[in-house]
Amino acid sequence: MLSLRGVSKTFEKTPAVRDVDLDFTPRTTTVLIGASGCGKSTLLRLALGLVMPDRGSVHLDGERVDARSAPALRRRMGYVIQDGGLFPHLDAGRNVSLMARHLGWEAERTRERVLELARLTRFPESALDRFPVQLSGGQRQRVGLMRALLLDPEVLLLDEPLAALDPLVRAELQDGLREIFRNLGKTVVLVTHDLAEAAFFGDCIVLLRDGSVVQSGTLRNLVEAPADEYVSRFVRAQRTLHVTGAEAAR
């Protein structure tokens, strides 16, 4: 289990995360949501050990994520950022296989894993030799997901992976991602600012404000039993939210 205990982080005297306690349940999807600057992305970087907390601790299966342990533990966590975060001088296949080459995998093992991930994410095999500039936004995001899944991580962290895509591509990728999450049984933490997207993916939704957790639970909890007026205002502000019966029951 990935967990945060009393985690706080300040950047240049500005608090980004304040005394956060969170447990991310294995094999479920937790969505972090909130306004810009509320601490969502910082929580992901803290979980990965890309930045260290000023107070509190992060643990993966009981092992503390710190400067010493983070490089090894990071291999057990896949990370996807907006637009894939691809290296422009590497083609899609080499972007995906970056860690395999770093770890000294044999070429055939690497090739088989890349092709397996291309099939999983419905990425065209013929496009593996294209560079990021030659790919669509949706294809770049699929490559980023493939790279994150290469080492078969226990935890998958995604930072607004679909925010830059047009609505049709975004809807297609949402369907694909949710299917992948369910089929692989990964522990998923996804950041978004869109409550409709949070409802689509989330087994648990965590609403943040000014670096603190305001409320966590199902969408129904947030809609029908808001913790305070801010939760109600946040839900009302999501005017495009259309909740299906299944999603409301979660």
In CATH, what number is assigned to the domain containing residue 222?
A: 3.40.50.300
Q: pLDDT tens digits for 72-84?
A: 999 999 999 887 7
Domain count across the chain: 1
Question: 242: domain range?
Answer: 2-85+155-248
**Residue 120 included in any domain:** no
What's the confidence (pLDDT) of residue 239?
62
pLDDT at 238 over 50: yes
Question: Three-state SS for 158?
Answer: strand
What's the confidence (pLDDT) of residue 245?
43
The H-or-E segment that residue 22 falls in is strand 14-24
- In the chain, the percentage of residues whose pLDDT exceeds 70 is 95
Q: How far apart are CA 250 and CA 190, in angstroms?
A: 17
**Residue 60 included in any domain:** yes
Q: pLDDT tens digits for 110-145?
A: 999 999 999 999 999 999 999 999 999 999 999 999
**Residue 176 included in any domain:** yes
Q: The whole model's pTM is what?
A: 0.91
Contact 181, 201 (CB under 8 A): yes
pLDDT at 152 over 60: yes
Q: Pairing state of beta strands 204-209 and 212-217?
A: antiparallel
pLDDT at 52 over 90: yes
Contact 141, 173 (CB under 8 A): yes
**Residue 217 included in any domain:** yes
What's the confidence (pLDDT) of residue 244?
45
**Residue 171 included in any domain:** yes
